[in-house]
Amino acid sequence: MYDPAGFWVSGISSGYRMSSRGNIIAVLVLSGVMLGLPLLLNNDYYLSVLIIIGLNTILALGLNLLMGYAGQISLGHAAFFGLGAYTSGILTTSYGVHPIPALVIALVFVGVVAIIVGVPSLRLRGYFLGMATLGFGVIVSILFKEMSFITQGPSGFRGIPELSAFGFVFDTDLKYYYLIWTCTIIILMISANIINSRIGRALRAIHTSEAAAGSLGVDIQAYKLAIFVLSALYASLAGSLYAHFIGFISPSSFGFHFSIVLVTMVVVGGMASIWGAIFGASVLTLLPEFLMVFEDYEIVVYGLILMLIMIFLPEGLTRGVIERIKGRLAR
């Protein structure tokens, strides 16, 4: 029966989500694994793949807050990633700004862009919101190509300096690896905390019934916008880190194709699943390495994977498979 103390200890868990304590344990396990992994996979290729998985996880976490929890689609999320990358790249390379202030300026800039894009487009629903964000993504990727006087055009922007902070220079992949996975794990924890809070409940409420959410005092437009901006900030951070790590950015990395890959990560990992984001990001980062043989048809295979998962495992791979295994065992 009713026991307030007991509830607090068990957190605010529910059915398919992990309790706060479960989350903390999972974060500790993940941190341990990521800490030790470079010892096993200590070559530049593996490290760079792991770094990209970390960055993609940050992107997928942001998009999952928006799509999986608040139920709002974005087909232009690569644009925020690109804006973060280009802002950091241009400021540090062309204007000699220190990487950390440049990263902060990128966050502010992307936040403002997200507000400007979000205010009108989040009034739309479903396909229409999808189209609006898609349009935004296309515009931004054209700007990257055409504004060659600052972006150096379609051939890409080169010579981005290494990230440095307080005299410490991130000049090896291993240093980037630890930096980026620290950021990823912090963002993972932040996201889990938001979801298991009053804010997260308001988002999930909007997803199921805007009428009921509104009648209980949730300012629907404000919450949609806030989560849209937050997910854009995640993308901007990932973009800045990516620019410094890779040293060379080109418009093709931030186009429509990558927006779709991000959506696929969320769907594969499972909508409304914080931990699925890591899984989705890993699968979609590793897949191209295996799909090299398909070359130009890679996007077709992505599409096919997305379709098959939506048809057979609409809850996403992680939860879908877990539930099917449970179902088998119960029988």
| CB closer to another protein, 147 vs 220 | 220
Q: Which helix (H) or strand (E) holds 164?
A: strand 164-165
Query: Counting contacts by CB under 8 A, is residue 6 touching another protein?
Result: no
Contact 188, 3 (CB under 8 A): no
User: How many angstroms separate the CA atoms of 119 and 127, rounded?
Assistant: 17
Query: Counting contacts by CB under 8 A, is residue 230 touching another protein?
Result: yes
* Site of tokens 């794990």: 185
User: How many angstroms separate the CA atoms of 171 and 147, rounded?
Assistant: 30
Q: Which stretch binds another protein (CB under 8 A): 35-43, 110-118, 195-203, 319-327?
A: 195-203
| CB closer to another protein, 3 vs 295 | 3
User: How many angstroms separate the CA atoms of 256 and 94, rounded?
Assistant: 27
Query: Counting contacts by CB under 8 A, is residue 167 touching another protein?
Result: no
Amino acid code (one letter) for 202: A
Query: Counting contacts by CB under 8 A, is residue 24 touching another protein?
Result: no
Kindly state the smallest distance separating residue 68's Cβ from another protein, in Å.
10
| CB closer to another protein, 55 vs 226 | 226
Query: Counting contacts by CB under 8 A, is residue 208 touching another protein?
Result: yes
Query: Counting contacts by CB under 8 A, is residue 243 touching another protein?
Result: no
Query: Counting contacts by CB under 8 A, is residue 171 touching another protein?
Result: no
The strand pairing partners of 270, in sequence order, are: none
Query: Counting contacts by CB under 8 A, is residue 207 touching another protein?
Result: yes
Q: Which stretch binds another protein (CB under 8 A): 95-103, 144-152, 192-200, 314-322?
A: 192-200
Q: Which of 272, 274, 309, 313 binds another protein (CB under 8 A)?
A: 272
* Site of tokens 């979609």: 284
> What does the longest C-alpha to C-alpha distance in the chain come to?
68
Q: Which of 106, 122, 205, 261 binds another protein (CB under 8 A)?
A: 205
Contact 58, 234 (CB under 8 A): yes
Query: Counting contacts by CB under 8 A, is residue 204 touching another protein?
Result: yes
| CB closer to another protein, 187 vs 283 | 187
Query: Counting contacts by CB under 8 A, is residue 120 touching another protein?
Result: no
Contact 4, 155 (CB under 8 A): no
- Could you tell me the two tokens for 143? 């700007």
| CB closer to another protein, 69 vs 254 | 69
CB-based contacts of 257: which residues, under 8 Å, 6+ apart?
A: 78, 299
User: How many angstroms separate the CA atoms of 223 and 5, rounded?
Assistant: 31
Binding site for another protein (CB under 8 A): 1-2, 4, 7-8, 12-15, 190, 193-194, 197-202, 204-205, 207-209, 211-220, 222-223, 226, 230, 272
